[in-house]
Amino acid sequence: MNWRGILAIYQFEMSRTRRTIMQSIISPVISTTLYFVVFGAAIGARMENVENIEYGAFIVPGLMMLTVLTQAVSNGAFGIYFPKFTGTIFELLSAPISFTEATLGYVGAAATKAIIIGLMVLLTAFAFAPLDIQHPILMVVILLSTAITFAMLGFIIGIWASNFEQLQLVPLLVITPLVFLGGSFYSIEMLPEPWQTISHFNPVFYLISGFRYAFFGQAEVAIFRSLAAIAAFFLLELWVVARIFKTGYKLRK
């Protein structure tokens, strides 16, 4: 394993974040804070508890998942798309580094950025809602696995995209709606049929449910189903990335 090559890619991507810290870190945290102010403080004060949980606290796992998912996909996509856009991707392909090592560098950096932002959102949440995380280790496991899994999804999107419009198409039209429809601001038990049944086909629903279990010790589906959904999605992405590097799909002209 070429750890020096992995570290070089990782450090380069992280240095880009430090140069653009306002857009990369501070801006997403401020945007999420506005959600807490509007939904948690303003609307939540006028709502009844959801599943015996104060509404302001109930939405914290959903907001964290919204932030982590969107940031992981966005950073993962831009990380690999930019070398394609500038032409430096051919230097990477000709370097003595395997597709596994290149993926580890780019995905690791994207996941790290998403985790940092997610933890900052969690710290912000303590100022707006009473939180008592019942399963902190499980919370960390789900946070890490979700960030890595969706950073790899972003990596795949970055390779597939041919322009900046395509680069933002999936996060805007797929990821964000799935999060909002996955129970981030409500319990799906509040939905009428057939929307409750349809929600169970939304993979993000299982992530939010498992993350909420880590916070409050209760969820709408069994925790093992949430973990299994993350694992299955991750294995599928590994196979897709392996095929991309093996065939050179959109990497070689």
Average pLDDT for consecutive 10-residue bins of the chain (253 residues)? Answer: 82 78 72 73 65 82 88 88 78 76 89 90 83 91 93 90 80 80 82 81 88 89 87 88 78 60
Residue at 252 is within a domain: no
Q: What pLDDT is recorded for position 140?
A: 94
In the numeric block, which tokens belong to residue 109? 């950096």
Q: What pLDDT is recorded for position 137?
A: 94
Q: What pLDDT is recorded for position 43?
A: 64
Distance of CA 221 to the CA centre of its chain: 20
Residue at 253 is within a domain: no
Residues 6+ apart with CB under 8 A from 231: 145
User: Cβ of 82: how many Cβ atoms within 10 Å?
Assistant: 15
Residue at 201 is within a domain: yes
Distance of CA 143 to the CA centre of its chain: 8
Q: What pLDDT is recorded for position 185?
A: 80
Domain residues for the domain of 101 are 3-247
Residue at 65 is within a domain: yes
Residue at 206 is within a domain: yes
**Alpha helices (H) in the chain, listed in sequence order:** 3-19, 21, 27-35, 55-86, 89-94, 99-125, 136-160, 164-170, 176-180, 195-199, 203-216, 223-247
Q: What pLDDT is recorded for position 213?
A: 93
Q: What pLDDT is recorded for position 22?
A: 66
Q: What pLDDT is recorded for position 147?
A: 93
Residue 89 near residue 79, CB atoms below 8 Å: no
Residue 217 near residue 135, CB atoms below 8 Å: yes
Q: What pLDDT is recorded for position 252?
A: 61
Residue at 136 is within a domain: yes
Q: Of 174, 228, 59, which is closest to residue 128 (Cα–Cα)? A: 59
- What's the rounded Cα separation, in Å, for the pair 222 and 207? 11
Q: Please count the CA atoms within 13 angstroms of the CA of 148 that sit on its side-chain side.
A: 15
Q: What pLDDT is recorded for position 134?
A: 92
- Global pTM reads 0.86
Residue at 209 is within a domain: yes
Number of domains in the chain: 1
